Amino acid sequence: MREIWTEQRKLEIWLQIELLATQALVKEGIVPAKDFAIMKAKAAFNIERCKELERTLNHDVIAFTTCVAEYINDPASRWFHFGLTSSDVLDTAFAVQMTQSADILIEDVKQLRAVIAKKANEHKFTPCIGRSHGIHAEPTTMGLTFARFYAEMARNRTRLIAARAEIATGAISGAVGTFANIDPSVEEHVCAQLGLTPEPISTQVIPRDRHAMYFAVLAVIASSIENVAIEIRHMQRTEVLEAEEFFSPGQKGSSAMPHKRNPVLSENLTGLARLVRMSVIPALENVALWHERDISHSSVERAIGPDTTITLDFALHRLGGLVEKLVIYPENMLKNMNKFRGLVMSQRVLLALTQAGVSREDSYRLVQRNAMKVWEHGADFKTELLADPEVTAALSPAEIEEKFDIGYHTKHVDTIFKRVFGA
Amino acid sequence: MREIWTEQRKLEIWLQIELLATQALVKEGIVPAKDFAIMKAKAAFNIERCKELERTLNHDVIAFTTCVAEYINDPASRWFHFGLTSSDVLDTAFAVQMTQSADILIEDVKQLRAVIAKKANEHKFTPCIGRSHGIHAEPTTMGLTFARFYAEMARNRTRLIAARAEIATGAISGAVGTFANIDPSVEEHVCAQLGLTPEPISTQVIPRDRHAMYFAVLAVIASSIENVAIEIRHMQRTEVLEAEEFFSPGQKGSSAMPHKRNPVLSENLTGLARLVRMSVIPALENVALWHERDISHSSVERAIGPDTTITLDFALHRLGGLVEKLVIYPENMLKNMNKFRGLVMSQRVLLALTQAGVSREDSYRLVQRNAMKVWEHGADFKTELLADPEVTAALSPAEIEEKFDIGYHTKHVDTIFKRVFGA
Amino acid sequence: MREIWTEQRKLEIWLQIELLATQALVKEGIVPAKDFAIMKAKAAFNIERCKELERTLNHDVIAFTTCVAEYINDPASRWFHFGLTSSDVLDTAFAVQMTQSADILIEDVKQLRAVIAKKANEHKFTPCIGRSHGIHAEPTTMGLTFARFYAEMARNRTRLIAARAEIATGAISGAVGTFANIDPSVEEHVCAQLGLTPEPISTQVIPRDRHAMYFAVLAVIASSIENVAIEIRHMQRTEVLEAEEFFSPGQKGSSAMPHKRNPVLSENLTGLARLVRMSVIPALENVALWHERDISHSSVERAIGPDTTITLDFALHRLGGLVEKLVIYPENMLKNMNKFRGLVMSQRVLLALTQAGVSREDSYRLVQRNAMKVWEHGADFKTELLADPEVTAALSPAEIEEKFDIGYHTKHVDTIFKRVFGA
Amino acid sequence: MREIWTEQRKLEIWLQIELLATQALVKEGIVPAKDFAIMKAKAAFNIERCKELERTLNHDVIAFTTCVAEYINDPASRWFHFGLTSSDVLDTAFAVQMTQSADILIEDVKQLRAVIAKKANEHKFTPCIGRSHGIHAEPTTMGLTFARFYAEMARNRTRLIAARAEIATGAISGAVGTFANIDPSVEEHVCAQLGLTPEPISTQVIPRDRHAMYFAVLAVIASSIENVAIEIRHMQRTEVLEAEEFFSPGQKGSSAMPHKRNPVLSENLTGLARLVRMSVIPALENVALWHERDISHSSVERAIGPDTTITLDFALHRLGGLVEKLVIYPENMLKNMNKFRGLVMSQRVLLALTQAGVSREDSYRLVQRNAMKVWEHGADFKTELLADPEVTAALSPAEIEEKFDIGYHTKHVDTIFKRVFGA
């Protein structure tokens, strides 16, 4: 990802665009084929020379064209950048970089999904307690947790593909987008060769609502990463300890406390998510440029273009590695689930009472009465229910017993996996 | 839009969902048809009673079900909310509200586009100066400005449709999303009746990356509105005065300065855009809920759900009215264009010199030399060129004359309109 | 807080400002004392009439002055609003509202601090485990946790006082801030009466960097609230259960699971923090108004002015009540601390070994070796150390024993409390 | 500013803190003076070696202490980092960097204010039109515009000083902030030597509300920069042209249009403001760390610490240079002011009519009637007034004439300058 955003790569794309545009002008009969042949053979650039020229000229694209003209060193060089405006080159090149970044991110998400899918299947039926508000609710399976991350990343893939299409347009339309000095066919040729769509209507620049949408999608993906990271951080808490980040031999958790194994990768991912997200506001502020363009967006994009895509690429890789090596402790999951003995089955008992003809309000009262004994005095829920005459008046001991079967909670895991992973 | 977000409407949707779920349970053979008939006939609610119950129960959904049970006033009421978790109702109802909001916004954008298209066609060939950096660049037409707003709003329509699909899912999957106490067929039935898709995998709640994406799209649309608003504000500046917001008889621009006609609607829209945009950050922060859910997202959504959609709906309407009645001054456009006499044709002359065999650097020097006389001393560009022997050595007077034809700049307007509006 | 932001209150402040300004003009010899007496006696307004007038006039302040003039119903009414610009009234009134809001928030923070101080002192020496990365680190006390929240809120108080000063300025300086039509003495008089400072230099409006700073401070306070809320949410997790939000009799935690007691208040506060924070971006975007003002800030402030202060006021109250009634479980704190038997004392042992002359690297190795037995096999740390000949070669059994004294960790609690709460 | 944030500088500060802490331990009688002398003489580090060690150890501070121990190469090295936790070093070092950054920014603002003050005095009485809503309002002076930027930057100086105090605290308080293994006197010694205040109560880290406040202040300053930049961009618009950024000989405004002189610096500053502002949200999200710390803030701060301070430093310098060299066109200011002949004096006439006994409503009607002739038909306002019998019934020709004196609008400039710049 870093390579896409180097100065060298940027200028290579500029050169490619300039030559493609001139090639189109040959077809148009404006540039002599012979001159183009000379240009193509000799056109080159040198970053240091470009920088030197920019110090005098105060204009990056003019510095670049001047530098290339020096290399061409032939009257043919007058056709270089002919009829183009700087932004034709700048914006189309930025589109190439953004599109290539999107391609990498799409691949990252694909790899991450593969890793998550593997964990989901491994732990498809590993029981653990589901929690709402951080409080035990009802049993679920670890596989379902991974399955929902998988589904979330599937949505992110769809969003990334849409975001890629948003910014995969080029514009070679001149100073204010009228094609006054350059025929639309040049734009078509350049875009076709670069795998871009011609921007239907541009001004001097490609409209920035496209880029805002792109960065918004990256921000959503970052939030999904945070979602997974927070889950892992919770699971690794000392009191929970249902999973741990892999701790390599030789790694030190703390300079002071040798026993510590900290979820530093997932905490790091939480921070990286904040970094990626922060670009969404400036990207939105970039949309309302003045008239046919002002250049306020440029400094913003020079920073968030590379920073945000590189950070997200890094974060997706880091998350992939983290999930792949994540150490999971099924026995701790069971131990946690039974912390309040049998209590997590309370809703099932509530429904059974209702079905047995007890009013909803009475059922609720009966269940809560026994639940509180478990919660406050460490009693066993099933034992309490069996000893409560109002309960046993409605449900037989066997019926009560049956309510504590874990299989009841996992019976639709297959259905859900089919929805998420297909047949 | 406001109606969607009233307490009354919300509870109506809750009731609808509850009854649809019970209806599905009849099919499942769990609820007797007779009991459902009683429920359906008598189920009702009263906002005041719900509020009263909530003060004791501290739980909005339980207050609601209790209230409805009072209306049913029959043992059949025990099937009301049977097997459901509060979030099944809350989240699915929120999806209905968000989807209906999206429908209104899609219609808003459609109407706005119609108004913009009309203006674009009216002023398709109204010449005006294109500006980059707020500085005159080259001629363009007013129609192209409207055409690009049209194209931007077309993209927004596409985004809204995608955003609608993002949040048009319902979930009736129980306390932690396992369908332990409620068959997936109930979810399918309820969603089908409400025009929603069943969420492939939910926890207690529908995943919030969906909502984040939705609000991100609203934020982009708001930025597009700002884009149009800023353009109008610039056009109405006293020194520019190429357009004015309609000023109704009786309206007062200033309590102190009777001559003032201020672009207050477009300034207002600029502020509204900021308000809509601000919801994107909390919506992103809502994604990483703890485990199977925490309720931190709820207070956020209770505010930004109605506020953001209502503000955006209002802004889209306001913008439509503003564009529709916008007073445009073509004569001022011409006057502005000629402020620096002929200077806006400079690039064309530059290219003509290059095509006539002058090197790019010399062409640039020749044009800049004459341009500076116009810029600094108010000279007429064409006159200066005709008097410059180095220029006339390359271009004949007739050739120079021809470079000042406005038609040169509008020759591709048809092409662009075809791209934007179709054949 | 809501009262400050009612339409009624706003217009009352407007009227007060208008009358104070006219009073100053009497002193200046411009308005006859007799006319002012008439105005003062009869000036009044009616919200409905104002709204009706605004529908025609499209200008809120002119509608207001017209309405008041109707009440005055005397030629003296021509002095009403004399020499003023709408913004003189609007901005000064907004300053009054913002200042009063700040006063309430300062009082809120004061009350919250009192509640937190009480808890801090109650649990000054209640031992609990300190955690970094969610992993047990070393012992600390619950009182220190409350003490740091107290210190954080003390900083917030200082910030609020500074923020109040930022926005406690009024401006009566005319259409572009030149005092062309109104003497600076009027501004001085009005501000003195309202407890405001005259804005040293205004344009048509008070500069918006002041308001941006104000909302930024509210955003920081919101984040502090979130900080406390997250701590409580963690403490209430089923596996941790070191504290619980007060659960009133009759309250229902879940419509489905009768045993549930959820930290819904602190989760709600987490969401409210997001809502308060979101206003900081539009407030910053409001700073760069065009020239002597544009009105884009107005719609933003009409929303975030009341919404943000009301939400923060509510959140501070809610947090106060929550902390006050928070149920704390010291026995669970001890139980959690000893989950990994003695392990939390590892750093102390490490340092003792170093002090006994063992190299840092060897000390680390010795401690980690024994720590891992505790971590992985549930061993008792002290027992393992006493059985490790390399350890006992450096430390006597009595020395090892002494390292497990909790008093070691609490010996500076008094020092810290003195720093935070004073002598 | 970049130097503060190099890896080299960071590790130098780490070393300084470690040695200061050990020095304090000598005073405490824990570390032998002889050992400290050895350490001090030989302690050094090497960035490459640190990085190499970090690859195995996965912990930056342990890698650093190991590297330094290698340099010391003596049993005395066991006292290096004795009793410290990584964060003691990390956070205190970060405080040093943030404080030094604040010092530079304070100096930047000072220099900027000097430049602005100079311009303000040069143009103290240069008349120009004040504008609200982009529409001509009443005359003002260019000096007042600079004076308000000066006052805004004065506020920013005060804010920066407060922000500096916010983050100028150090903490050497151990793993969870209890000073269990390190006496508070060490913290006092280290902080005193570094010019920091001891953090009254820390956990493992310094509380992050301090840093959030710091970045919020930078965000406000960035918005002030944008405020100035937007003003300049407006002044340089082709139709306004009241000022221009300095255009150096050799500079090229456009690759295509040789006459163009674009306000690229102020547009760039507008973009930089967005970049600085974006850090405020992640800084706020960093406040609510889990328990005694999690490390999510770290990746955020590693990015926004340097990026935001460096960008703001650069922007303040750029703005200083821009204002210093700004070319101002007083004659264009006059020309613009008179675009609508005399109209900007309308409020004054309105007030004069009122003072002459005409009711406010009639005065308004009379002024607007004549104003509209100027606005719509290019008439001269004074001429129209003199020809309007209803006006001349109230005001004599001499009185009307006198209303068009510019001195009326500048009579309080001295007063305002005294407020802003002092006596």
Chains contacting B (3 or more CB pairs within 8 Å): A, C, D
Amino acid C251: pLDDT: 67
Range in A100-109, A210-219, C267-276, C365-374 with the lowest mean pLDDT: C365-374
B69–A contact, CB cutoff 8 A: yes
Chain D residue with CA closest to A274: the answer is: D282
C360–A contact, CB cutoff 8 A: no
Nearest Cα residue to D133 out of B292, C175, B21, B120: C175
User: Helices C296-325 and B296-325 sit at what angle, rounded to 10 degrees?
Assistant: 170
Select the more confidently predicted residue: A193 or D257: A193
CB contact under 8 A, C262 and A133: yes
Amino acid D377: pLDDT: 85
Residues C139 and C256 in one domain: yes
Question: Least CB-CB distance to B267: which of C59, C252, C296?
Answer: C296
Per residue in C95-127, pLDDT (tens digit) is 999 999 999 999 999 999 999 999 999 999 999
D178–A contact, CB cutoff 8 A: no
Percent of chain C with pLDDT over 70: 97
CB contact under 8 A, D131 and C209: no
Percent of chain D with pLDDT over 70: 97
Domain annotation covers residue D413: no
How far apart, in whole angstroms, are the C-alpha atoms of residue B250 and residue C297?
25
Measured in angstroms, the CA of C337 and the nearest CA of chain B are apart by 24
Amino acid D343: pLDDT: 87
Indicate the burial class of D306 (C-beta count within 10 angstroms; 0-12, 13-18, 19 or more): middle
Nearest Cα residue to D174 out of C412, C235, C120, A266: C412
Q: How confident is the model at residue D341 (pLDDT cuts 50, 70, 90)?
A: confident
CB contact under 8 A, C132 and D291: yes
Residues D282 and D355 in one domain: no
Q: Which of residues 373-412 of D touch B (CB under 8 A)?
A: 374-375
Chain C residue with CA closest to A339: the answer is: C239
Structure tokens at D98: 């943030």
ipTM: 0.94
Contact between A303 and A222 under an 8 Å Cβ cutoff? The reply is no
CB contact under 8 A, D133 and B364: no
How far apart, in whole angstroms, are the C-alpha atoms of residue A89 and residue A97?
12
Measured in angstroms, the CA of A15 and the nearest CA of chain C are apart by 38
- If you average pLDDT over residues B259-268, what whole number do you get? 89
Domain annotation covers residue C409: no
Residues of C in contact with A258 (CB under 8 A): 346-347, 350, 364, 367-368, 371
Amino acid A58: pLDDT: 82
DSSP strand E in B114-256: where?
127-132, 135-141, 169-170, 197-198, 243-244
Residues of A in contact with C133 (CB under 8 A): 233, 260, 262-264, 267
Amino acid A360: pLDDT: 78
DSSP state, residue A181: S
Question: Known catalytic residues of C?
Answer: 133, 254
Beta bridge partners of B127: B141
Range in C21-35, C256-270, D22-36 with the lowest mean pLDDT: C256-270
Residue B414 has pLDDT above 60, yes or no: yes
> Helix (H, G, I), strand (E, B), or coil: what is residue A217?
helix
Whole-angstrom CA distances from A353 to A93, A349, B75, C254 are: 68, 6, 14, 17
Residues C319 and C242 in one domain: yes
Percent of chain A with pLDDT over 70: 97
Please report, in angstroms and rounded to a whole number, the separation of the first and last CA atoms in chain C: 35
Indicate the burial class of D302 (C-beta count within 10 angstroms; 0-12, 13-18, 19 or more): middle
For B122, the domain range is: 87-181+200-336
Place of tokens 């009054």: C96
Structure tokens at D364: 């308004």
Interface test with C, best of D360, D366, D405, D419 (most C CBs within 10 A): D360
Q: How confident is the model at residue C188 (pLDDT cuts 50, 70, 90)?
A: very high
Per residue in B161-175, pLDDT (tens digit) is 999 999 999 999 999
Domain annotation covers residue B304: yes
- If you average pLDDT over residues D330-340, what whole number do you get? 93
Residue D254 has pLDDT above 70, yes or no: no
Count of domains for chain A: 3
Residues C255 and C370 in one domain: no
**Residue A15 CB neighbour total at 10 angstroms:** 18
Residues B247 and B169 in one domain: yes
Amino acid C13: pLDDT: 98
Interface test with A, best of D246, D274, D300, D304 (most A CBs within 10 A): D274
Nearest Cα residue to A229 out of D299, D53, D377: D299
- Residue ending a domain, choose from A301, A336, A371: A336
* Summary mean pLDDT of chain B: 94
Length, in residues, of chain A: 423
- If you average pLDDT over residues A274-297, what whole number do you get? 98
Amino acid D351: pLDDT: 85
Domain annotation covers residue B418: no
Chain A residue with CA closest to D256: the answer is: A85
Question: Known catalytic residues of A?
Answer: 133, 254
Whole-angstrom CA distances from B284 to B273, B303, C65, C249, C281 are: 18, 15, 44, 36, 15
Residue A240 has pLDDT above 90, yes or no: yes
Residues of A in contact with D176 (CB under 8 A): none
Range in B248-257, B270-279, D117-126 with the lowest mean pLDDT: B248-257
Q: How confident is the model at residue B259 (pLDDT cuts 50, 70, 90)?
A: low
Kindly report the CATH number assigned to the domain that includes residue A346. 1.10.40.30
- If you average pLDDT over residues D256-280, what whole number do you get? 90
Residues A138 and A243 in one domain: yes
Residues A331 and A344 in one domain: no
Residues of D in contact with B131 (CB under 8 A): 237-238
Chains contacting D (3 or more CB pairs within 8 Å): A, B, C
Tell me the H-state helices in D258-295.
264-277, 280-285
Q: Which of residues 79-138 of D touch B (CB under 8 A)?
A: 129, 131-138
Give the helix/strand (H/E) hosting B132.
strand B127-132
Residues D240 and D312 in one domain: yes
Residue A12 has pLDDT above 60, yes or no: yes
How far apart, in whole angstroms, are the C-alpha atoms of residue D367 and residue C272?
50
Interface test with A, best of B220, B230, B348 (most A CBs within 10 A): B220
Domain annotation covers residue A422: no
Chain B residue with CA closest to D278: the answer is: B281
Residue A256 has pLDDT above 70, yes or no: no
CB contact under 8 A, C138 and D176: yes
User: Helices B142-167 and B413-421 sit at what angle, rounded to 10 degrees?
Assistant: 20
Amino acid A237: pLDDT: 96
pTM of the model: 0.96
Place of tokens 């059922």: A363
- Determine the distance from the C-alpha atom of residue C350 to the mean position of all C-alpha atoms in its chain, rounded to a whole number: 41
Question: Least CB-CB distance to C290: which of D230, D359, D409?
Answer: D230
Q: How confident is the model at residue C375 (pLDDT cuts 50, 70, 90)?
A: confident
Amino acid B254: pLDDT: 62
Question: Least CB-CB distance to B280: which of A66, A280, A360?
Answer: A280
Residue D14 has pLDDT above 90, yes or no: yes
Per residue in A110-164, pLDDT (tens digit) is 999 999 999 999 999 999 999 999 999 999 999 999 999 999 999 999 999 999 9
Residues C121 and C217 in one domain: yes
Residues C166 and C98 in one domain: yes
Per residue in B189-246, pLDDT (tens digit) is 999 999 999 999 999 999 999 999 999 999 999 999 999 999 999 999 999 999 999 9
Give the helix/strand (H/E) hosting D392.
helix D389-392
Residues of D in contact with A84 (CB under 8 A): 255-256
Kindly report the CATH number assigned to the domain that includes residue A111. 1.20.200.10
Q: How confident is the model at residue A355 (pLDDT cuts 50, 70, 90)?
A: confident
Q: What angle do CA A253, A255, A261 make, to 5 degrees?
A: 15
Kindly report the CATH number assigned to the domain that includes residue C37. 1.10.275.10
Q: Which amino acid is at A282?
A: P
- If you average pLDDT over residues D173-178, what whole number do you get? 94
Amino acid B258: pLDDT: 59
- Determine the distance from the C-alpha atom of residue B149 to the mean position of all C-alpha atoms in its chain, rounded to a whole number: 12
Residue A243 has pLDDT above 90, yes or no: yes
- Residue ending a domain, choose from D336, D357, D388: D336
Structure tokens at D14: 């780490």
Most confident of B61-75, C210-224, D361-375: C210-224
Domain annotation covers residue A147: yes
Residues B234 and B364 in one domain: no
Residues D347 and D332 in one domain: no
Per residue in A14-59, pLDDT (tens digit) is 999 999 999 999 999 999 999 999 999 999 999 999 999 999 888 8
Question: Least CB-CB distance to A285: which of D56, D252, D274?
Answer: D274
Q: How confident is the model at residue B361 (pLDDT cuts 50, 70, 90)?
A: confident
**Residue A192 CB neighbour total at 10 angstroms:** 14
CB contact under 8 A, D132 and C292: yes
Whole-angstrom CA distances from B234 to A289, A392, B241, D234, D259 are: 11, 79, 8, 9, 22
Residues of A in contact with B363 (CB under 8 A): 78
Domain annotation covers residue D254: no
CB contact under 8 A, A374 and C347: no
Residue D119 has pLDDT above 90, yes or no: yes
Amino acid C256: pLDDT: 56
Percent of chain D with pLDDT over 90: 85
Measured in angstroms, the CA of A335 and the nearest CA of chain C are apart by 10
B290–C contact, CB cutoff 8 A: yes
CB contact under 8 A, C237 and A239: yes
Domain annotation covers residue D315: yes
Percent of chain C with pLDDT over 90: 85
Residue D409 has pLDDT above 80, yes or no: yes
- Residue ending a domain, choose from A314, A336, A358: A336
Amino acid A351: pLDDT: 85
